[in-house]
Amino acid sequence: MTPHDSDVSTISPELPAMFDGMKLAAVATVLYIIVRCLNLKSPTAPPDLTYQDTPLNRFLLKSCPQLTKEYIPPLLWGKSGHLQTALYGKLGRVNSPHPSGVRKYLPMQDGATATFDLFEPQGDHRTGDDITMVICPGIGNHSEKHYIRTFVDYAQKDGYRCAVLNHLGALPNIELTSPRMFTYGCTWEFAAMVGYIKRTYPQTQLMVVGFSLGGNIVCKFLGENSMNQERVLCCVSVCQGYSALRAQETFLQWDQFRRFYNFLMADNMKKIILSHRHSLFGGNPVKTIDLDLGPLYTATSLMQIDDNIMRKFHGHSSLKEYYEKESCVHYIHNVNVPLLLVNSADDPLVHESLLTIPRTLAAKKPNVIFSLTLHGGHLGFFEGAVLFPQPLTWMDKVIVGYANAMCQWEKQKPPLLTRHDQGLTPEGIRAHSHGRILSL
């Protein structure tokens, strides 16, 4: 045996052990990354609530257990706001139903045609009353989206009529009849739908529901004019950002991959706009805007699209003016009907700094409850044991549960109960947050 052979025989037995150690280190690293990315060590908890201690709010929290019990997402992936958001964005919902409705067309004064889908209840409401949910979906969404279909089917079975707005230009098979499409805060189409429901069903009472961008629109609609709150029992807003002006800076940041989501949403908006380019920019004798589409093709953010195109539909002179006038933050304090604002702490689209708006509002106004879940992503809120989510989400259940509680309150309260008796006046009211009493 040569010296060289001796060295090889001495080293060789150690190599497998070294490789095994490297494998273990690699596996440990991968597991650590998975645990961190999926947020597996995060606890489950009830929603963090901010509200004032009034008889109505106590009744609502007692009668709607989803607001006070733990929200438990699927174990393996449900604690990741990104996966919750991605599943909502790609699939919408699991095994979503196909509720049967009738499409309505409403001519607008500027030549536009608003459309909404009307779904009749599948049975009597538990109170025996006629209740209609008027629903405003998220950005570029409509009644055919899976999350809307799932919610409508669930609400129908609980005795609610549902009217779902189709954002102007969002339906691929409906042509625009004027050079205008939906924007961040335009309430014209939603107001037209609500007016139709009030005229057609003079005995009905309204539950107003808005998802994401739709939450901004419904809160702005109610706060713009006090008459818009007539016959409205309550309002629920889910996953909105409240102020586009404050949000624009956060959408350019890479934390929580918000810049990437911004790019994806901008790309979707480009597709919607370009699908209607003939109606919007050419061939129509009455043009709202006349511009070069070059900046649209190269846009990589919603702000670029808003500045080059969207703000011009309503004649705003600047992006700042557009965001200020179309954000509900300037109107929501005028909403006096019971208002439930729902957000998720791991929503990758809504920066935590924006949540001071609903939290402050709920601490100051007795009609507002702000519910912040630990998990849920953006319009996800899936529930499930380990891997597979349930068809119904926590979001679906909490909206219908809150609506049922409001109907029950209205049914059983004494006829002469005043707003002071309900606790809807500021005097002598306490605010609760994190289980603590806040002095106002």
Distance, CA of 283 to CA of 94 (rounded, Å): 42
**Position 76, amino acid:** L
Burial class (CB in 10 A: 0-12, 13-18, 19+), 320: middle
Q: What letter does residue 43 receive in the DSSP assignment? A: P
Cα Rg of the chain (Å, integer) = 25
Q: How far is CA 91 from CA 74, 150, 167, 238, 342, in A?
A: 16, 12, 20, 19, 22
What is the CA 110 to chain-centroid distance, rounded? 29
Which of 82, 167, 378, 432 is flagged as catalytic?
378
114 DSSP β-pair partners? 106
47, 71 in Cβ contact below 8 A? yes
Phi, psi of 347 (to 5 degrees): -70, 115
Residue 80 appears among annotated catalytic residues: no
User: For residue 43, how many C-alpha atoms fall within 13 Å in the half-sphere facing its CB?
Assistant: 4
Distance of alpha carbon 53 from alpha carbon 440, whole angstroms: 12
DSSP 336: -
Count the Cβ atoms, other than its own, within 10 Å of residue 65. 13
- Side-chain-side CA neighbours of residue 420 (13 Å): 2
Of 212, 237, 243, 344, the active-site residue reads: 212
Strands (E) across 109-160 are located at 113-119, 131-136
Q: Alpha helices, DSSP H only, in 142-281?
A: 146-157, 188-200, 213-224, 244-250, 258-275, 277-281
6 included as an active-site residue:
no
Task: List the structure tokens of 128.
Answer: 């025996």
What the block records as the tokens of 236 is 């629920």
The catalytically annotated residue of 117, 158, 347, 396 is 347
Does 96 qualify as catalytic in the annotation?
A: no
Residues designated as active site: 212, 347, 378
